[in-house]
A and B are shown apart, each in its own frame.
Chain A
Amino acid sequence: MRALPRLLGHRAFVTGAALVLVVVLAAISADWLAPYDPLRSAVRMRLRPPEAEHWFGTDHFGRDILSRMLFGARISLAIGLSTAMLTGLFGTMIGAAAGFFPRLDHPLMRLMDALMAFPAILLAIAVAAVLGASVANVIVALSVATTPHTARIVRASVLVVRRMDFIEAARAIGMGEARVLMRHVLPNVAGPLIVRMTYVFATAILAEAALSFIGVGPPPPAPTFGNIIANGRDFISDAPWITLFPGLAVVVSVLGLNLLGDGLRDVLDPRARA
């Protein structure tokens, strides 16, 4: 790949990749790194401040915050990644259909406009309320909320690519519409799409936390960054560590992904800005 050396020379990309790598490695090796069972409650160890035995303190169940964060990273990252994949999949399907088949363009894009006209968080709350709270449903809710914008980006790229000469050439030599789409158009859409998916990954981690805060996030006892924070909010003035550390973990993960996205954008999609 020509892009790889340029990416490796891009400072934001490298910094972001390093941050994300740290979070991913922590999540993968949670089984070895976590000093305690993240689900195990201990009445006597309730609301302990950060100390040698519990670096980030304990919650009101006496559960170790660090261990919960390590395992929480797993689910939060899984939610982010799955949402990014789903929004990529549906965004591409809808955006490509709208961009390539003029008759579908208007109805599909007005539907996307309607979805975008809801504040994304309200849309996610409504979807979560309809489906019930579970990790899978949170992913669905966030995918619904992020797909319209993705579809728009894909459609815009498809429209640009479609007008290019080599597409006309492909058509001229009798290639079918579907094959032109698969063979020539989509690969050219990949750059903006990957950039968008990276940002969606970041957004989904933030949104999971917000949904947990409203009370429609992934259910307990499995930890996510969001529900650890939500759990701690009742004790915010007496045990701020419950809220503080997982909040910082969200910031680090999202910052890493955003840097990664910036790097990818500069290299893969130089037309787009900021």
Chain B
Amino acid sequence: MRRRTFGTLAASAALTAAAPRLAASQPRRGGDAVVAIVQPPPSLDAQITTAQAARDITLHIYETLYARDENARPVPELATGVTVSGDGKTYVFPIRDGVKFHNGKPLDSADVVASLERYRKIGGSAALLAAVDTVRASGTHEVTITLKSVQSTFLDNLSSPRAPIAIYPASEAAKPANQIEFIGTGPFRFVEYKPDSHVKIARYDGYSPNPGATGRDGFAGKKEALLDTVTFRFMTEAGPRNAALEAGEVHLVESVDGPVAKRMGANKSYTVYKALPFGFQVIKFNHAFGVTGDVNFRLAVQSALDMEEIMSLSFPDIYQMDGAWVYPGSPFHTSQGTERYNKTDAAAAKALLAKSAYKGEELTFITDPLRSDVDTATMVQEQLKAIGVTVKISVADWPTVSKIGFTPTGWHFWTHGFGIEPYEGPASVMAPWVGGASQQKADAEVDRLYAALNAELDETKRKAIFAQFQARFYEQAIAMKAGNYGNFQVATARLKGFTPYRIPRMWGVWLDQA
């Protein structure tokens, strides 16, 4: 079969630049860059939203106690380190001295405590701090956190960029969701937000860099803002978005389709970057509704699908075939169970289908209007028709789809991207399936493995647990992964020092004079 494995990839190559050009020019201060992003951010109150569009901007403005490095490992950012007690339940974080918020107020432990307490109440991913018992200031620049029980992933959680546990001034942390002033400690400060148009941020000249950092390193490390301002323009239409780059109105486009990227790559005025892998394309089954509750039916679908065809059509020129449920290069990457991935075995599928309860009824595939999701649904529909399964596609906007997709009736299949979860690590990949949240019917084995992973401090044993989880996923076809997809990002060649990551990081980036 046409299968490629990425197990041998260098561990650091989580994200690679397709066209690494040596920056001949010298970093220079000044300049105003414009970045075209696809969706408007729902809010710039970083704590309350898990949306990618918010992250793109807020991670320039705010910082966290710990942040992920280039390989997604937690490293100190506003904390200088951590001391963990022998029983693994008390964490003492010394806070960096001399850090100033954008409003000039110096950072102290009261701000940290207030921010963490706010997150526990209204955080967009409050489960990250579910294990926390108490948070208290044990000095003007020291915070002590005690846990209810040992949690192997606590630092991972604290540094998660999903809905970042951003540190706000205590005065802002006292305010309700989405009503704060946007004040952080990051290398850029907030300037203005025009709904349906743009967000503008400017270099924060009072920024205090992390003294331990040497170079740009994931969401942590050295963050040197060179540009005077960065404007994030929201441009939902792909045509005008690409045209804006070609017309010189925009310097970087966050997401460009394969064919367009190919054409622009041939032109010296542009640099094409590949953020790959950026996410999994996941196809969910509803285990509580009709025939998708039947394991034989799910296995039949799993055997039938040609994932490479799905990926190559939905993500032209920017995908990887890999059945593992973390990214290549992760220490948890394993081929356990993946012999069932991308089989394209119609005979086996038909045999399984005959054993299943499927009687020719029409099944419902729900998807939001995002083109790659619609394309995936369309390909699955076409491929399943070949083994005699009838699928109806139902497209609705995201609020509707995400409502239906978390109810136990009305849908059989649902597809969408899964990007930040594998970046965060194995626990985040497993969490959505715990208690049957995403498949509508709990799987006792998945629940047991998730609890075991959280309580296990030894990394070798945790790897074994995750391998079991992955094996279980394929044996039961709990859900399917089509493959890893990426993002083409295209910038004007004048934009220097840029490397793609989970967000378009604009620190360490400068514009050459035209």
Contacts and interface: CB of A to CB of B under 8 A. Distances in A.
In the complex they form, do A and B come into direct contact, defined as C-beta atoms under 8 angstroms apart?
Answer: yes
Interface of A: 39-41, 43, 46-47, 60-61, 129, 132-134, 215-216, 219-221, 231, 233-239
Interface string B366-386: 000101001101110110000
8 contacts: A39-B382, A41-B378, A46-B313, A215-B397, A231-B371, A233-B237, A233-B239, A237-B243
Contacts of B393: 219-221
B390 interface: no
Give the dominant DSSP class at A's interface.
Answer: loop
B440 interface: no
Nearest to B377: A220
A239 B258 CA distance: 12
B396 A132 contact: yes
Contact of B394 (A40, A134, A215): A134
Given A235-B257, A239-B259, 18 more contacts: A39-B382, A40-B382, A41-B313, A46-B313, A46-B316, A61-B313, A132-B396, A133-B395, A215-B395, A216-B397, A220-B393, A231-B371, A233-B237, A233-B239, A236-B239, A237-B242, A237-B260, A238-B259
B499 to A, nearest CB: 26
B312 interface: yes
Nearest to B395: A219
Contacts of B371: 231, 234
Contacts of A231: 371
Contacts of A216: 396-397
Contacts of A61: 313, 375, 378
B237 A60 contact: no
Contacts of B359: none
Interface in B336-386: 369, 371, 374-375, 377-379, 381-382
Given A60-B316, A61-B313, A215 B369 contact: yes
Query: What size tier do the contact residues of chain B reach?
Result: 20 to 34
B259 A47 contact: yes
B268 interface: no
B382 to A, nearest CB: 6
A4 B70 CA distance: 77
A216 B394 CA distance: 10
Residue of B239, B260, B375, B394 with most partner-chain A CB within 10 A? B239
A91 B405 CA distance: 37
B209 to A, nearest CB: 40
A132 B400 CA distance: 8
B242 A219 contact: no
Contact of B239 (A41, A215, A237): A237
A234 B257 contact: yes
B309 interface: yes
Contacts of A234: 238-239, 257, 371
Given A41-B382, A233-B239, A238 B395 contact: no
Nearest to B393: A219
Interface in B249-275: 257, 259-260, 263
A221 B239 contact: no
A246 to B, nearest CB: 15
Contacts of B243: 237
A43 B378 CA distance: 13
A46 B312 CA distance: 11
Nearest to B308: A43
B120 to A, nearest CB: 35
Given A215-B369, A238-B263, A60 B313 contact: yes
B312 A238 contact: no
Contacts of B397: 129, 215-216
A242 B376 CA distance: 20
A213 to B, nearest CB: 10
B263 A129 contact: no
Contacts of A41: 313, 378-379, 382
A220 B391 CA distance: 11
Contacts of A239: 259
Nearest to A46: B316
Contacts of A235: 238, 257, 259-260
Contacts of B313: 41, 43, 46, 60-61
